[in-house]
Structure 1
Amino acid sequence: MSHPVPSTSSLQPTEQIGQRALTGESEQQKYASFFCEEDEEFGERLIGGLGGWVRGRWWYTLAHVCQRWRNVILGSASYLGVSLVCTEGTPVADMLAHSPPLPLVIDYRNVDHGITADDEEGAILALRQRDRVRRVRFEMPATNLQELIVAIDEEYPILEYLVIVRLTEGDSMILTFPETLQVPHLRHLMLFGFTLPIGSRLLTTAVGLVTLCLVMDHPSTYFHPNTLLRWLSSMPQLETLAIIFLFPVPNRDIERQFSQTPIITPFPLHNLHHFCFQGVSTYLEALVHRITTPRLEMLAIYFFHQLTFSVPRLLQFLNTTENLRFESAKFEFLRKDVYVKVYPRGEAEMYALALIVHCWHLDWQVSSAAQISDALSRIFSEVEHLTLEHKEHSLSSEEHNEVDRSEWRKLLGSFWNAKTLRIDDGLVGELSRCLQLEDGELPLELLPELEELTCSGSGDTGDGFTSFIDARQNAGRPVTLVRSSNQRPSEAPVEASTVTSSEAGDDVDT
C-alpha cells in the first residue's frame, strides 16, 4: 500500500535566512552580530544553519514522480533523513492525517509580523507529536511565542535542534521556558530572550549538546555564573558556546554574588572550539576561572563600556589552550568602538582572538586597549606583525582625541617581539609623538625587535618618525620606514628602486 505524501502545490519558496537572530537597532545587538559576520560557519551553527529548513522538502516532488520512486524514498526514509516540514502556509492537520509517520521539522520564522492563527494552530498541533519532532525553530514576536512555548513541554526523545528567538523590538513581555521540558538527544540549542526556571530540566537533560547559544535581553533572563557552570559541566561534547548579554550587569553585583556562593570545581571542555562572550568583564572572569578549553580555536569577546579592565583569569585561561596562535594583531579605532583582532598567521582571514570594547573618543578607546593589551602582554608578546587603523571620529569630540603619550606606550609595550608596525594615516601624528624619545628613555625600550615601520596615507606621513629612525640607527638596530599611499599601482606608479614590497604604492627610507 502506498503512502500519500504532502502536495507540492502549496509549497512556498523559503526566504534567504539572514542573521536576524543577533541583529537589531541597539548597539549591544549590533555587536553580537559581528561575531557571526566575521565567521559565517559560526553564525550558521548558532541559528541552525543558513538556507532554511524548508529545504527538507526536497523529496516531495520526487515522491510524486511515480509509485516506484515513492516506495524507494519512503523505504529509505531513515537513511535519506526524510522528514515532514511544517512552516508558514503548511496545512499541518491535513499533512499529518495523510502522510506516513515521518520525523517532523517545525520551522516558523517571520520578521515583520506574527504568524497567522492557522499557522499557530498548525505549529501547536505539530509540537504535540513529541515522539516525531526532530527540529524546532521559531523566530517571532513574544505575543506569538507565548502560546507556542506552552506547548513545548515534557519529553522530546528525538529532538536535535531547538532554536527559539524572541524578536524584541518594542516588546517587553517576559517569557519563561517550561520547567518540565526534557531533550535527551538535543545537539543544538539557541534561546534568545527567555527566563529559565531554577528547576528547569532543559539543560540538565541536554548532556549531548554540541552547540549552545544563550542570549539574555532583559534582567529577568539573567542567571548566576555558577548556574551556567553547572550546566556546562554536564556537556562534555560541547564544541560551540555563545553567552550574550544585551544589557549590562554591574561588575560589583557579580563580584558580590560570586563571593557568596560555593566555588565550582574547575572542569575541562575538551571539545570546545568556538567561544563567544558579550557582557561585562567580571562575568567572563567568573566563567574562564573554572573551565579549561585545550582545543579552543576562536575566542570572541565584546565588553560593554567600562572605565577599567582587570582580566587576570582570562590570561590564565588563554595559557591553557593548545591551538591558539598569535602572529599578527590589528587595532581598529572606530567611531564608537575599538576592535582588537589577533590572527594565527599574517595572511589568515579569520581571527583566533577578537576583543571589542564599546566606547567613544580616541582617548577612552586607547586607554581601554592599553589596559587589555597590558593585561594580556604575555600572549601578545608572540605577535610579530602589528597594525593600528583609525577611522575619523566625530568633530565635536576633538578635545578627547589627543591621547596621553603614556597610554600609547603602554599599548605598544605589550608587543615587544613585533617586527613590523603599520600605522594608518589618522594615527601618524599620535604615534610619531609617542615614539619620540624623552629624557631617560632608551631607544630599544619600546618595540625592540622592530624592523619595519609603515605609514599609510598621503603626503609626508613618515617625517614625524625621523628622530625615532635615527635613534634606532645609532643604537645599531635600524628600522626601515615605508611610506604607503594605499593606492593601486595603476594610480600611483613608483620608481622600481624605491619599491620593497608587493605594493607598488610603498616607498622606503633607510
Structure 2
Amino acid sequence: MSIDMLPDDVLLEIFDFYVRIRAWRLLVHVCRRWRSIVFGSPRRLDLRLFCSNKTPARETLDVWPALPLSIKCDKRAERVDNIVAVLERSDRVCHINLGIKSSDLETISAAMQVQFPDLTHLVLWSHGETVSVIPDSFLGGSAQRLENLTLENIPFPGLPKLLLSATHLVTLQVVFIPHSGYFSPEEIATALSTLTRLESLWLLFESPQSCPDWARQHPPPSPRSVLPALIRFWFKGVTEYLEIVVARIDAPRLSKLDVTFFNAIVFDTPQFIQFIRRTSMLKPLQKARVTFEGDTATVKLSSQTSGYKAEELKVRIPCRELDWQVSSMVQVCTSCLPPLSTLEDVFIYEDPCWQTHWQDNIENVLWLELLHPFTSVKNLYISGYIAQGIVPALQELVGGRATEVLPTLQNIFLELQPSRPVQEGIQQVIAVRQAAGHPIAVSYRQILR
C-alpha cells in the first residue's frame, strides 16, 4: 500500500513521530494533502515557527499560517529590530530565550509591556553588564500560562507581583540578581505561596548588599504556606534573607537544598534549621563531605542513593583564608544544621590544586570543634593534607577524653602514602582508643573527591 493511500488519522500518527525527529516544514512541501493534514493539527504536532534576530519577521511571518512563535538568540543580538517585530505578535509567542545587551533591554522591555497569553517559557539573560530595571508592567502584569521563567542578571524588582499570576509555574530561576533588582523576602514568600506547581527554585543574589532591613519587624506568618511540589531549592545570599523566606513556607517533598551564604562573623539560622526539619530529607542523610577549596568551604550531606534522585543538602561559604573556612564550617555544622545524628560516613578533604601550607595555620581545637557534631559517625575519610591537621588534633584526646569527639568511630581511612609524622600520630590515636575500650581500624586508600 502506498503511503498516499493511508487514512488521514494514520498519516497524522506518522507525522507526529516524524515531527519529533525532523523539521515539520519538510512535510508541508510534499503535497497539498500533507500540508492540509499538518496545518490542520498544529497543537497535536506542536507546530511552531522559530525566529531569531536574523529572521526578517515583518516580511516572512505572514507567509505561514498563524502558528505559535518561538524566539531564541543564543548570543546577545547585535540588532533587535527583528526580535521586536516578533514580540509585536504577542498573542502568538509561546517561547522566548534572549540574551540582551544593556543598551537593548529597554527596547525589548518596552515591546513586552503587553500580555503574552500563550507564553509558557521565558529566558532573559545579560552577562557582564549593568542593565536597566524592568518595570512592573512587564508582560502586562500577568503570566497565567508561564511554566518556566529564567532571569539572569536582569533587575526586576516587581517580579513577586508578576508571580502572583503565574500559578502554572514549574521552574523559577532568578540568578545573578543585581542589587538594583532587589525584592524583599516578604514579597517573594507571598508570591511563592501561590506557586503550588513549582518544582525547582533558584534565588541567587550577586551581593551581600541585598539584605533585608532589620529595623523592621519580621514576625513569621501563621499558618505557613505549603509548596507541595517543590523538590529542588538553590539560594545564594545573606542568612537574614533566607531566614525570613523559610519561616513563611513549608516544602515537605524537598530533596535537594543548595545554599550559599555570604561570609559572616556569626551564622544564626534557627528558621533555616526548622525549615529543614519540616522536610522529609533528614532521615535518609547518611554521608557528609566537607571540602576546602581555594575560595569556598562546603559541607554536603547526602543519602546513600546515588544519581539524580539522591537526597542532598549543601551549604557553601565563600571565603579564601583557610582559618576562616574551617571556622565557618564549624559554625555551619553546629549552628546552621539540625543534629547530624543519622550520618555514618564523613569525608574531609581539600581541593588537590590548593598548595597553601594550611596545616601550620589552624589550631588543633578548631579541628576538634569541626568533628564534634558528628556523634554517630562510624567511618572517617580524610585526605593527605587534611590528615596533617586532624591527626595531631586527635592526638590531644587522651585518657578520659579519648572519645570526646567521634564517640562511635570504627574506621579511619587515610589517603595513600601519608607522611611519616601522620603515620606515627595515627598509631598513637589507635593505642589511646584501644585502651579506652573503643578500638578503631585504620586503612589506606585513595579518597574519592
TM category (shorter chain) comes to 0.7 to 0.9
Is 1:302–2:260 an aligned residue pair?
yes
Query: Which of 110, 130, 146 is 1:172 aligned to?
Result: 130
SS of residue in 2 equivalent to 1:256:
coil
Contact 1:382–1:415 under 8 Å retained in 2: no
Equivalent residues in 2 for 1:15-30, closer than 5 Å = none
Query: Which of 155, 158, 182 is 2:142 aligned to?
Result: 182
- Partner residue in 2 for 1:11: none
- Partner residue in 2 for 1:404: 363
Shift of 1:262: 6.4
Computed over aligned residues only, the root mean square deviation of the Cα atoms, in angstroms, reads 2.6
Contact 1:178–1:200 under 8 Å retained in 2: no
Contact 2:163–2:191 under 8 Å retained in 1: yes
Task: Provide the rounded CA distance (Å) in 2 between the counterparts of 1:218 and 1:229.
Answer: 19
Structure 2 CA distance for partners of 1:62 and 1:178, relative to 1, 3 Å:
farther
Structure 2 CA distance for partners of 1:280 and 1:105, relative to 1, 3 Å:
same
Matched to 2:268, the amino acid is S
Shift of 1:351: 5.8
Aligned length: 423
Range with greater deviation from structure 2 (378-387 or 312-321)? 378-387
Task: Provide the rounded CA distance (Å) in 2 between the counterparts of 1:302 and 1:435.
Answer: 30
Is 1:225–2:178 an aligned residue pair?
no
SS of residue in 1 equivalent to 2:406:
coil
Any idea what the Cα deviations from partners look like across 1:283-323, whole Å, max 9, x if unmatched? Answer: 11111111111000100011222232112211111100114
- Partner residue in 2 for 1:366: 326
Task: Provide the rounded CA distance (Å) in 1 between the counterparts of 2:48 and 2:126.
Answer: 26
Structure 2 CA distance for partners of 1:288 and 1:85, relative to 1, 3 Å:
same
Structure 2 CA distance for partners of 1:320 and 1:71, relative to 1, 3 Å:
same
SS of residue in 2 equivalent to 1:131:
coil
Contact 2:267–2:336 under 8 Å retained in 1: no
Task: Provide the rounded CA distance (Å) in 2 between the counterparts of 1:204 and 1:239.
Answer: 16
Structure 2 CA distance for partners of 1:65 and 1:341, relative to 1, 3 Å:
farther
Query: Which of 442, 445, 453 is 2:401 aligned to?
Result: 442
Is 1:285–2:250 an aligned residue pair?
no
Task: Provide the rounded CA distance (Å) in 2 between the counterparts of 1:393 and 1:149.
Answer: 44
SS of residue in 2 equivalent to 1:78:
coil
Task: Provide the rounded CA distance (Å) in 1 between the counterparts of 2:346 and 2:161.
Answer: 47
Structure 2 CA distance for partners of 1:83 and 1:175, relative to 1, 3 Å:
same
Shift of 1:270: 1.1
Contact 2:152–2:177 under 8 Å retained in 1: yes
Contact 2:157–2:180 under 8 Å retained in 1: no
Shift of 1:216: 4.8
Shift of 1:68: 3.4
Is 1:413–2:372 an aligned residue pair?
yes
Shift of 1:250: 6.9
Task: Provide the rounded CA distance (Å) in 1 between the counterparts of 2:185 and 2:447.
Answer: 47
Task: Provide the rounded CA distance (Å) in 1 between the counterparts of 2:58 and 2:72.
Answer: 16
Structure 2 CA distance for partners of 1:316 and 1:67, relative to 1, 3 Å:
same
Task: Provide the rounded CA distance (Å) in 1 between the counterparts of 2:136 and 2:337.
Answer: 45
Contact 1:267–1:290 under 8 Å retained in 2: yes
Is 1:471–2:432 an aligned residue pair?
yes
Structure 2 CA distance for partners of 1:453 and 1:96, relative to 1, 3 Å:
same
Contact 1:109–1:139 under 8 Å retained in 2: yes
Shift of 1:379: 4.0
Query: Which of 159, 162, 169 is 1:202 aligned to?
Result: 162
- Partner residue in 1 for 2:346: 386
SS of residue in 2 equivalent to 1:380:
coil
Structure 2 CA distance for partners of 1:82 and 1:211, relative to 1, 3 Å:
same
Any idea what the Cα deviations from partners look like across 1:434-493, whole Å, max 9, x if unmatched? Answer: 212346752222111111101103244433112221122122221110022569xxxxxx
Task: Provide the rounded CA distance (Å) in 2 between the counterparts of 1:72 and 1:441.
Answer: 84
SS of residue in 2 equivalent to 1:341:
strand
Query: Which of 435, 442, 448 is 1:481 aligned to?
Result: 442
Task: Provide the rounded CA distance (Å) in 2 between the counterparts of 1:200 and 1:326.
Answer: 33
Shift of 1:129: 1.5
Equivalent residues in 2 for 1:80-479, closer than 5 Å = 80-111=45-76, 114-116=77-79, 120-167=80-127, 169=128, 171-179=129-137, 180-196=140-156, 198=158, 201-249=161-209, 254-257=213-216, 259=217, 263-265=220-222, 266-324=224-282, 325-345=284-304, 347=306, 352-376=312-336, 378-391=338-351, 398=357, 402-438=361-397, 441-459=400-418, 460=420, 461-479=422-440
Structure 2 CA distance for partners of 1:197 and 1:248, relative to 1, 3 Å:
closer
Matched to 2:245, the amino acid is L
SS of residue in 1 equivalent to 2:214:
helix
Contact 2:74–2:98 under 8 Å retained in 1: yes
Which ranges of structure 1 fall in alignment gaps of 5 or more residues?
1-54, 488-510
Contact 1:331–1:389 under 8 Å retained in 2: yes
Contact 1:341–1:353 under 8 Å retained in 2: yes
Task: Provide the rounded CA distance (Å) in 2 between the counterparts of 1:79 and 1:329.
Answer: 48
SS of residue in 1 equivalent to 2:43:
helix
Matched to 2:180, the amino acid is S
Range with greater deviation from structure 2 (376-385 or 184-193)? 376-385
Task: Provide the rounded CA distance (Å) in 1 between the counterparts of 2:231 and 2:84.
Answer: 36
TM-score of the aligned structures, taking structure 2 as reference length: 0.87
Structure 2 CA distance for partners of 1:462 and 1:484, relative to 1, 3 Å:
farther
Task: Provide the rounded CA distance (Å) in 1 between the counterparts of 2:110 and 2:56.
Answer: 21
Any idea what the Cα deviations from partners look like across 1:107-149, whole Å, max 9, x if unmatched? Answer: 12315xx332xxx222112112122111111112121222111
Task: Provide the rounded CA distance (Å) in 1 between the counterparts of 2:67 and 2:199.
Answer: 29
Matched to 2:385, the amino acid is G
Task: Provide the rounded CA distance (Å) in 1 between the counterparts of 2:160 and 2:343.
Answer: 45
- Partner residue in 1 for 2:15: none
Task: Provide the rounded CA distance (Å) in 2 between the counterparts of 1:144 and 1:77.
Answer: 33
Matched to 2:375, the amino acid is W
Shift of 1:326: 0.9
Matched to 2:111, the amino acid is A
Contact 2:160–2:187 under 8 Å retained in 1: no
Between the aligned residues of both structures, percent identity stands at: 28
Shift of 1:221: 0.8
Which ranges of structure 2 fall in alignment gaps of 5 or more residues?
1-19
- Partner residue in 1 for 2:32: 67
